[in-house]
Structure 1
Amino acid sequence: MNIARQSKSSSSPSSQKRPFFSGRNKASLHSYWMSMLFASWLATYLELILTGTQLYTFQARPLTNIFSIDIRFTLIGIPVMTLFCVTALSWMNLLQRTLFLILIGLAMMLFEKISGRLGWIGYSDQWQHMYSFLGYPAFILVVFFFFTWCESARGNI
């Protein structure tokens, strides 16, 4: 329903309604999905390596007789975190990205300490929380590079 019509003498282009997921947005949506799948896959293998070397264990996890990792984290937490981080990083400049990644590292280091106190994760004596401070930003950066590669491969950058 048109409330106001554009004047015939107006030189501005008329605004046509376009579907949200059209053209570039569909390609971007594909890049987001691919990044979320890549991050979930990468996190699963990193978790399998770290739990396999006994650096930490997930004490409260579903399907304990099947999985040595917490699949809720790798199937839900990582994709949601990836969507948030990739979207945020794509809007930021270099300084903002650097500060954001430092903040993510600090937040995950703090979250690990809290989850350890709550009994969700058990850490070995060799585990240093500095690994998370450096590891999570590196992980997010790799996933963001994958996202930008997907975007450039589809011609969206």
Structure 2
Amino acid sequence: MNTVKRSKGLNLPPWPKKSLPFLIKEFGPTVFLAILLGTCLDLYFVGKNLYMFPKRPFPEIFSFNIGFTFIALPILVLVFINMMNRVTKWGKVGIILFLSLLMPIMERLSELFGLFEHASEWKHIYSFFGYLVFLSLIFVFYRLTNKEH
């Protein structure tokens, strides 16, 4: 088996080794906020019959898709924060706008696969603005809880 090693002549600083407790301290509060907000928003909108999740884990217990809220959303938030930490201010604006525009498209695809349904009065532009606020809030919260970064 071959192992890839860093070239010693590059004069780059060593890769930081981050322990699991450090990662939980850095990202945990933000991921928890995203899960909490996602759950509350889903419960509200499902309760108002504005959208629903026809195919979801444990439908007899949960009215929202716990697979998305507790697994996919945290992973997406971690990827989002990682991307945001690598770009300039305008890059951050671009990422938030791009993802906010992408979400209504993903909702439409979810509807085609029977994973998501909206009431007739729902407009996908609501999702654009909702994700715009959600992603901005998540990143501002991350920055406030990680001021040393």
Same fold (TM over 0.5): yes
Query: What's 1:138 paired with?
Result: 133
2:47 maps to a residue whose letter is G
Cα distance, 1:91 vs structure 2? 1.7
Calculate the aligned-residue CA RMSD, in Å: 2.3
Number of aligned positions between the proteins? 139
Q: Please report the TM-score for the alignment, with normalisation by the length of structure 1.
A: 0.80
Gaps of 5+ in 1: 1-14
1:98 aligns with 2:93: yes
Residue 17 (structure 2) aligned to one of 13, 17, 20:
20
Task: Tell me if structure 2 keeps the 8 A contact 1:31–1:151.
Answer: yes
3-state SS, counterpart of residue 106 of structure 1: helix
For residues 49 and 21 of structure 1, the distance between their equivalents in structure 2, rounded to whole angstroms, comes to: 37
3-state SS, counterpart of residue 61 of structure 2: coil
Aligned ranges 1:37-76 → 2 under 5 Å:
37-76=32-71
For residues 146 and 96 of structure 2, the distance between their equivalents in structure 1, rounded to whole angstroms, comes to: 21
Task: Tell me if structure 2 keeps the 8 A contact 1:58–1:68.
Answer: yes
Gaps of 5+ in 2: 1-11
Identity, in percent, stands at: 27
3-state SS, counterpart of residue 91 of structure 1: coil
Larger radius of gyration: 1
Residue 126 (structure 1) aligned to one of 111, 121, 138:
121
1:149 maps to a residue whose letter is L
Moved over 2 A (4+): 15-19, 25-29
Residue 80 (structure 1) aligned to one of 58, 75, 81:
75
Cα distance, 1:78 vs structure 2? 0.8
